[in-house]
Structure formats: C-alpha cells, structure tokens
Amino acid sequence: MLSAFGRAFTTPDLRKKILFTLAIMALFRLGSHVPTPGISYAAIEACQRAASGQQSLLGLANLFSGGALLQFSVFALGIMPYITASIIVQLLTVVIPRFEELKKEGQSGQTKMTQYTRYLTIGLALLQSSTLVAGAVNAPYRLIGGTELTCPTITTDSNVPTMIIMVLVLTAGTGLIMWLGEQVTERGVGNGMSLLILTAIAASVPASVWALKDQGWGKFVMVCIMGIAITIVVVFVENCIRRIPVQYAKRMIGRRSYGGTSTYIPLKVNMANVIPIIFASSLLSLPVMLAAFADQTKGWGLWVNQHLARGDHPLYMAVYTVLILFFTFFYVSITYQPKEVADNLKQSGSFIPGVRAGDATAKYIGYVLNRITVVGAVYLAILALIPLIALALVQANQNFPFGGASILILVGVGLETVKQIDSKVQQHHYEGFLR
C-alpha cells in the first residue's frame, strides 16, 4: 500500500489528483469550524461540558459531520441529507417504474437520477435545517444534552429574519458539501462523498481514543490493542467474497470456436455495507425524539427515556440487533435481484455448472445469497454493538471509533480508495509488450 502511494506521487497527473483531493478534504474540515450566524460558540461549549458523558439524540449524524452538527457550524448537516436522498432514490428504483427504466438506460439515466438526488438533498437539507434551528432556539438542551438550567440558550438572536438566515446558511452548506464531493469524484481520486464522510469520522478518532486515558493507562492500552484486532477482522471480512462459478458456452462461427471461458459472480459477505446500521439507529432515535417533547416523569415518555434513550440498556441493544438483522435482509433483497442476474446470464449464453438456466439459476443464486446474508447480518450486529458495550464497560463516548458505522466506513472507504490509486498507478506504469 505504501509503495502504491509512493509511486503515485512520482506520477505528475496522479499527484495533482491526490493533492486536489487532500485540499478539498482540508476545506471541508475548515468549514466544520466556521460558526453559523446567530449561534454563540461559548454557550455551545458550556452546554457540551454540562452534558459530558450523556448520549445525544444526534449522535450518528454528529459522527458523520465530524462533530460539526453539535457545534452548529455552516457544515452542521454534513453529508447526511445526501446519504438519505441517495438511499431513498435507490429504494424508489424498485417501487417506481420510471426510476427502474432510468437505471437501465446507462450513463444518461444515471445522470438524471443524480439530478433527482441533488434536488431531494436540498429539500431534505431545508427540512432538517429548519428542525435543527427550531430546536436550537426553543430547546437546545434536548439536542446537545443536559437540562434546561445547564443549557438555557445557544443563540444570540431568535427573531424570524435571523432564523431564516440560519436555515439558508445550513442548507447552502449542504449544497457546497455536495458540490465538493462531486468535484473530488470528477477531478480527484476515489468517491468524493465517501471520502468526505471518512474525513469527518477520522477527525473525531484521535479525541475519542485519547479520552479513554481518563479510565487509566491499562484500559487505554487494552482498548487500543482491541481496536487494532477489530480493524484487522473488519478488513478481512470486507474483502471476503463468495464466488459462484460461471461457464460460457462454446459457439462455432465458421471454423472458429468462441466462448468456453469460465468466470465467477462475486457476492460480498457484507453486501449491505453500513446501511442497516444507519436505518436501525435512525429508527430507534424517533421515539426518543418524540419523548423529548412529552412529559418524561411519567407514562410512555418516562419508559422511553429509561429504556430506549440509553445505549447501554439491554432492551436498547436487543431492539437494535433485531433491527439491524431485519434491515440487512431487507436492503439486500431490494438492491440485488437474483432473477435479473439469471436472465443476464441466459442472454449472454453463460450458465452455472450443474444448474439449469432460468428460474433454477435464480433460485440457486437466491439460496447462496440468503446464506451469505445471514453471516453478514450477524457480523454487522456484532460490530454495531461494540460501541454500546464499550460505553457500558469503559464509559467511552458514543463516537467510540472501533466499531459500528465508523469502523466500517473508515475501512471500506480506505480499501476502495487504495484500490483505485493502485489501479491508476498500474495504468500509468504499464509499458505493454513493445518497449
């Protein structure tokens, strides 16, 4: 890996792309510290100190924004509106025939779907920024944590024009992030949106790890060793694939024989990636957010606050695990269609050895896919529970880096970016047969 980076910097064209990508990532981090008009940073810091050790309702979104959300910076919403819009558009391809047709049109259809994703991102950013500004003005302690006494206000001005400006600034920040990500994809190295998410998460890793020293150096060293072991396991599982062999039939054209080659269909163990964890966390946060506006001293508000508002509670862990298992199967069943794969194999004149073409091939692929998804779902559930167990055992904060969505994104995006850099390096240094 290090040799690939070294050779990349010796290639002028590739060096420019890498430096451009690093510059965009630095600009993204700079915007995460630019304050939104009407917000007092001193008041936010006081609220965060008072809420130290408590679990925030916006923990996952704050993680994806690199801590910018609970600081209410211009990039407070981060990339979450775009992630949500992308998932919605992807799911709609199964429900809406028009989207399914666009998906089959190739590059032109993909361009139109990207445009729809942009429009939906801006709409979601307007909705989320309005909700965030309303919460910051009326009840900031419900977002950051603490009580009404420890966090009375974080805004310098709460009149309507100021609130409108705050909403527009936050929405414009999301639009700028989306544009920066697309620039990285077109002119840099790797997937721009994924790299911005990696930048946001990686920015919080040093502080999260260093905070563990308060529990003693023994626990600090133990957690670091466990973190390295977890990272190795995640790298191994993310590279695991199940290969279904495929044979191309031989065809005689004139006196020549074509085909007869063999290949395989790769099925990843973790085909759903980090999506089930995001879905499960978002769904579990809904009752907690609703209970925040109800009476928390009695009734359902008290029950939700005692059982579902704490990540270290056994009921929360159980419900979280069940939701991850469900969403893993749900997402894989929607995004991967064995029937479509079987039809493509049949049209191309290829087949799986020992399996009849058509419906039998689709059933076989579905059978293998279900078995792999069981392993992937259990793997995701265990990985997602690591931060919650760490929260209970070593009093780590909710952004514990060695587990859950954070480690999946860091490892997954890192591996994919290294592969792209390595392939580009090989293209630039390929000499061919003639010298």
The domain total for the chain is 1
Contact 259, 248 (CB under 8 A): yes
53-83 tens-digit pLDDT? 555 556 666 666 666 777 788 888 888 888 8
* pLDDT above 90 as % of the chain: 10
Reply yes or no on whether the pLDDT at 399 is more than 70: no
Reply yes or no on whether the pLDDT at 312 is more than 80: no
- Residues of the domain holding 169: 32-188
337-364 tens-digit pLDDT? 888 888 888 887 788 888 888 888 899 9
Reply yes or no on whether the pLDDT at 397 is more than 60: no
pLDDT band at 431 (very low <50, low <70, confident <90, very high): very low
* Sheet bearing 241-248, strands edge to edge: 262-268, 241-248, 350-351
| Residue 251 CB coordination number (10 Å) | 11
For residue 366, give Cα distances in angstroms to 39, 342, 363, 372, 376: 52, 10, 5, 10, 15
* pLDDT above 70 as % of the chain: 80
Rounded to an integer, the average pLDDT of 148-173 is 83
Least confident of 152-156, 226-230, 409-413: 152-156
Is residue 235 in a domain?
A: no
pLDDT band at 393 (very low <50, low <70, confident <90, very high): low
pLDDT at 35: 82
Residue type, 211: A
Query: Which of 84, 309, 73, 87 minimizes the C-alpha distance to 203?
Result: 73
Ranked by mean pLDDT, the top range of 48-57, 228-237, 311-320 is 228-237
Is residue 298 in a domain?
A: no
Is residue 176 in a domain?
A: yes
**Calpha distance 202→217 (Å, rounded):** 22
Contact 41, 35 (CB under 8 A): yes
**Calpha distance 355→247 (Å, rounded):** 11
Reply yes or no on whether the pLDDT at 211 is more than 80: no
Residues 6+ apart with CB under 8 A from 156: 38, 39, 40
For residue 278, give Cα distances in angstroms to 2, 265, 381: 32, 28, 12
Rounded to an integer, the average pLDDT of 164-180 is 91
pLDDT at 23: 92
Backbone φ and ψ of 236, nearest 5°: -65, -50
Contact 127, 84 (CB under 8 A): no
Is residue 291 in a domain?
A: no
pLDDT band at 198 (very low <50, low <70, confident <90, very high): confident
User: How many residues comprise the chain?
Assistant: 435
Is residue 4 in a domain?
A: no
Is residue 44 in a domain?
A: yes
Least confident of 54-58, 140-144, 164-168, 399-403: 54-58
Look up the pTM and report it: 0.78
Q: What average pLDDT does the chain have?
A: 79
pLDDT band at 373 (very low <50, low <70, confident <90, very high): very high
**Calpha distance 353→348 (Å, rounded):** 15
pLDDT band at 171 (very low <50, low <70, confident <90, very high): very high
Is residue 170 in a domain?
A: yes
Reply yes or no on whether the pLDDT at 153 is more than 70: yes
Reply yes or no on whether the pLDDT at 398 is more than 60: no
Residue type, 276: P
**Calpha distance 398→267 (Å, rounded):** 32
Place of tokens 């966390």: 281
pLDDT at 374: 92
pLDDT at 378: 92
pLDDT at 17: 87
Reply yes or no on whether the pLDDT at 1 is more than 60: no
Is residue 401 in a domain?
A: no
pLDDT band at 435 (very low <50, low <70, confident <90, very high): very low
**Calpha distance 208→203 (Å, rounded):** 10
**Calpha distance 1→382 (Å, rounded):** 28
CATH code assigned at 137: 1.10.3370.10
* E strand residue ranges, 293-356: 350-351
